[in-house]
Amino acid sequence: MDTYKEVSKTAQIRLVSSHNEVYEPCDDSFALVDALLADRTNLLEHCPTLCMEIGCGSGYVITSLALILGRERGDVNYIATDINPNAVKVTRETLDAHGVNAELILTDIASGLENRLAGMIDVMVVNPPYVPTPEDEVGAEGIVSSWAGGENGRSLIDRILPVADHLLSEKGWLYMVTLTANNPSEICLQMKKKGYASKIIIQRSTEEESLHIIKFWRDFDTTVDDITDQSPFGFLRSLLAQIPLVSLWRGSNSNDNF
């Protein structure tokens, strides 16, 4: 594998390792990284000290996050988890090829890390298995587990959200990929009940799916009336109104670092 020699804000596809049982970077991965790039100024001002990816796959996203924040910043630490041992191996190779370091942990979501990382994660990124599938495919061995989301694609998402709530710091931010079929407005309302505000950073349509990259952060001004007075439809409409029109259609990733 080539070595990483040039300065880049995101991982280069040619340096991303691969395995036939590991999900390769695709439209959803590119959309998530593009959302991080779109929010880069805020991320730099946020000054995170501990960042985490749940379900690191090829390592494209966690590597890109580290590059977006700047490799020269030695005060940021990175953790990535995956249930697939091949993904952990591939992520290590991708990180090494870009001169980036992270602690990689083989586990289901964040099992075993609940006490160690409680209230410590400043930035969390998640591209969960969100595709609606039969429930018996959820957690299956091999690459199927990277996309199988069960009924409405929500089985893993609904497990990840309370984990994120537990691990995020008071200033913690969560960036998550969702599909229209996942009912993102209901996800946002569910998180609002836990005290989180939300914003769609990027909405992207492809030939096969419509993706929403949602950012969540703790909103200490949230009240019960704020939650009960808003329908899911109205809530989604208000979220969509926040998106710059330029983000509404992207057929492919514009990253020229391939």
Contacts of 97 (CB under 8 A, 6+ apart): 1, 2, 3, 4, 15, 16, 17
* DSSP string of 81-132, one letter each residue: EES-HHHHHHHHHHHHHTT---EEEESSTTTT-TTTSTTTEEEEEE----B-
User: What are the pLDDT digits (tens) for 18-64?
Assistant: 999 999 999 999 999 999 999 999 999 999 999 999 999 999 999 99
pLDDT of residue 247: 40
For 169, the enclosing helix (H) or strand (E) is: strand 168-179
Q: 87 burial class (0-12, 13-18, 19+ CB within 10 angstroms)?
A: buried
- The pTM assigned to this predicted structure is 0.85
Q: Say which residue the tokens 């990816």 belong to.
A: 53
Cα distance between residue 197 and residue 194, in whole Å: 9
pLDDT of residue 232: 54
Tokens of 168: 């995020």
Q: Which of 60, 178, 184 is nearest to 130 (CA)?
A: 178
pLDDT of residue 236: 55
The β-bridge relationship of strands 210-218 and 168-179 is antiparallel
pLDDT of residue 221: 79
Tokens of 258: 């391939």
Residues of the chain with pLDDT under 70: 1-8, 71-73, 222-258
pLDDT of residue 135: 87
How many CB atoms lie under 10 A from the CB of residue 234? Answer: 11
Between the two ends of the chain, the Cα-to-Cα distance in Å is: 14
pLDDT of residue 233: 52
How many CB atoms lie under 10 A from the CB of residue 121? Answer: 24
